[in-house]
Every structure is written in structure tokens, then in C-alpha cells.
A and B are shown apart, each in its own frame.
Chain A
């Protein structure tokens, strides 16, 4: 009986060792992938930014406040709120705020349209993020000037494919 038990056990040990090794390989590959994608933003994002007539997103405007947690386990519902500090009068107000994700399959998250009746350029919602990335906000004022800001967020689970 004992001999049979050992024979049964042995393949399972070697299998687990094999799966461990292969998973380690996969981990290394994924690590490389995230490293490279961090250095170069996606083509879709560049296209979207071109559509929005934004040339560079390196400058962070202090008047945009992006409220996002630094680290989130589940990417399928990330609490998110944005506020643009600006007077909301007929002559001086925030017209639109675009919210973009760097590495989501579809980079556009939402566009908030404000009016002088809004009183406060503030909006809160919950968003999906596929992996650790920058969330970018592009605010368009009524005189045509554009403000940008971005924030890095760490995601553990992909929120785009599984629900």
C-alpha cells in the first residue's frame, strides 16, 4: 500500500514543480510587458489626445484635483472624483472635463460637461481600470484654454474583462 502511495505522489510533485517554473516564466514575461508599456503610452491614447488637441500631458495643473486611491485591489470599480478649481460664472467657467486612462483597451473613460448653473466643477463616479497606469484629466475652459493633470494608480486585478 505504501509503495502505491509514493508512486501516486511523485508525479504530482514533479507536476507542481513544472507549473511553478512555467508560472515564474510567465511572471517574468508579464513584468517585462508592464515595464515596456509604462515607458511608451498606447497608440489609442495618442489618437484620443490628438482628437482633443492636446499636445503634451507632462504639465500638471494645480487647479485640477484628481481624487483616486493610490492602490486598489479590484480594478472593476475604482472610486473616482474630479474637481476643477475655477469660478463658475457666465464669463469664466469650465466647459468640459475629459478623463482618460493610459492603458485601458478604450482610453476614454468619461466626459463631463459643466455649465455656469453647475456651481462647482465637481463630479464623482466609479471607473474600470485594466492595470496600473496614469489616469489623465483634460479640462477645457470656456475661453479655449486647456489644463491637464494625471495621477498614477496601482491596480491588482484587471477590471475590464472580468466582472
Chain B
């Protein structure tokens, strides 16, 4: 399988106590297990089932995803920036694979 592309839209700088908006996108087919291929064989389920966002070691936002999320899942959420730090974004795929990326946010 092609390695998924991770795209994150996050601000590099923020004011203290500001609510920032994070937009994330992972390229993934999100096979539901209901679709058939050209030979009529069911394609097994393979989806991104969990997404976690961690800022300086604290869980900020978490999502459990099921079959009804579209391919190339987009997730947008907010969080409060209290101090400078790193934002870790982790996607869990069916079968235990993990994709992760991180961004730095500086407070001024």
C-alpha cells in the first residue's frame, strides 16, 4: 500500500490563551469491508480507527472513527495554547499501524 500523506494546517505562532484551529488530513482509502473489487471479492475492512492529538504530553483531543468516515479523513478541531510546545498528531490504522507527525507552536 502507498504510504499515506499527512497534511496538517496549524499556526506557528499564537497568543497565550488563544483558541487555535487545527486542520488535519490523511490520504487513506478507508475501506469499509462492504465494497467489492472487480472480481466480486469483498475488500477487507481497513480504516483509520483512532486519531489522537497530544500537546506537551497532555491529550487535547481524541476521536474514535468508524466505517462511516469518508476516504481521506479530514478532522478539524480547536484547542487552547497556554505555552509553547510541540503538537503530536497520531493516527491508528486497523492492524496496528501508526502514522504520526508533529508541529511546533510558539507563544509570544
Chain A positions within 8 Å of B, measured between CB atoms, are 76-78, 81, 101, 104-106, 108-115, 117-120, 122-129, 159-163
28 A-B pairs within 8 Å (CB atoms) are namely A77-B70, A81-B76, A105-B32, A105-B34, A108-B66, A109-B68, A109-B69, A110-B64, A110-B65, A110-B66, A110-B69, A111-B64, A113-B61, A113-B62, A114-B61, A115-B58, A117-B80, A118-B60, A119-B78, A123-B76, A125-B69, A125-B74, A125-B76, A126-B70, A128-B32, A128-B70, A129-B68, A162-B35
| In contact, A76 and B70 (Cβ under 8 angstroms) | yes
Docked Cα-Cα span, A124 to B74, in Å, equals 8
| In contact, A113 and B63 (Cβ under 8 angstroms) | yes
Nearest CB of B to A36, in Å? 22
Docked Cα-Cα span, A8 to B73, in Å, equals 52
B19 within 8 A of A: yes
| In contact, B35 and A112 (Cβ under 8 angstroms) | no
Docked Cα-Cα span, A109 to B66, in Å, equals 5
B71 within 8 A of A: yes
Docked Cα-Cα span, A161 to B66, in Å, equals 15
